[in-house]
A and B are shown apart, each in its own frame.
Chain A
Amino acid sequence: MAPLPYLMALSAAIFAIGVLGFLTRRNILVMFMSVELMLNAVNLAFISLGSRLGTMDGQVIVFFVMTVAAAEAAVGLAIIISVFRGRETVHADDLTMLRW
């Protein structure tokens, strides 16, 4: 068992890197990947805290987060494909108009 402070620090660090990617990169797919990084950092925090407290609740929550992340990834990627069909770009700065 790794010490809890180190695990939580790792989780916070990966979450921060995910936020950094979401803010600085302008490619929509890479922004999406940063969102997945953030979700996984939170999963790590849930698992390590649940493990220390000795309950299975943390693991159940991670189970649900994983499932919902899969559903969200499917729908989000479908949206990206739709947008690409219309605008021919995945650069976030070019996707400024809703409709013309």
Chain B
Amino acid sequence: MPLALFWFLAAVALISALGVVLQRNPVHCLLALIVTLLTIAVLFIGEDAIVVGFLQAIVYGGAIMVLFLFVIWLLNLRAEVGPTGHLALKFFGTIAVAAMAAELMSFVVPPHLQVKFAGHAAGYGSIDSLAQKLFSEYLVAFEVTSLLLLVAVVGAVALARRISASELAERAAAIAAQKVR
């Protein structure tokens, strides 16, 4: 992608990422996160990872963030008023994070990480090549991930369901019986 476009996208991503951590209203944080995720999806597409870029928009932007939004509604979270957390934590946290960022960049930016780039093969990033890799080399991981999704769905429903009054009474009775013993 042209360099100017990259700078624009990088600026948008950084500003919205800062917006996520600095805003007081959780819904505004969520909107900033959505902008960040979509910008990263566009960066993926610019790197010829077309299918994964669109998948990022579909999965993250279209599904996970809606889940977050529903939870914010359910818990009826309002904008935070007053000081949010300890001043000492914020001060030392910022210094520590700045040091970590400096160290990370000193590791990834200098030329020893340069890789000779020879251009991509014809089907790079297409759904054919992704499927080839997924269903041959990474087949076990694929199947295990689908099992993991099933377990996550069942677990989420089990965790978040409302316990009926009769079941609460049952549990209280069981605890009382244990204590007596």
Contacts and interface: CB of A to CB of B under 8 A. Distances in A.
A92 to B, nearest CB: 8
Contacts of A82: 159-160
| B-side interface mostly | helix
A29 B21 contact: no
Interface in B67-126: 67-68, 71-72, 74-75, 77, 80, 84-85, 89-90, 93-94, 96-98, 100-101, 104-105, 108-110, 113-115, 117-118, 120-121, 124-125
Chain B, interface residues (CB within 8 Å), range: 35 or more
A75 interface: yes
B144 to A, nearest CB: 9
Contacts, number: 241
A64 interface: yes
A82 to B, nearest CB: 5
A83 B13 CA distance: 32
Contact of A73 (B46, B68, B148, B157): B68
B114 A4 contact: yes
Contacts of B72: 29
Contacts of A57: 133
Contacts of A13: 14, 17, 101, 105
Contacts of A68: 145, 148
B104 to A, nearest CB: 4
B3 to A, nearest CB: 7
A54 B93 contact: no
A4 B108 CA distance: 9
A84 B72 CA distance: 11
B29 A37 contact: no
B156 A2 contact: no
Given A14-B36, A52-B117, A74-B152, A81 B20 contact: no
A76 to B, nearest CB: 9
Given A6-B10, A33-B30, A20 B64 contact: no
6 contacts: A5-B108, A29-B72, A33-B33, A43-B56, A78-B156, A81-B159
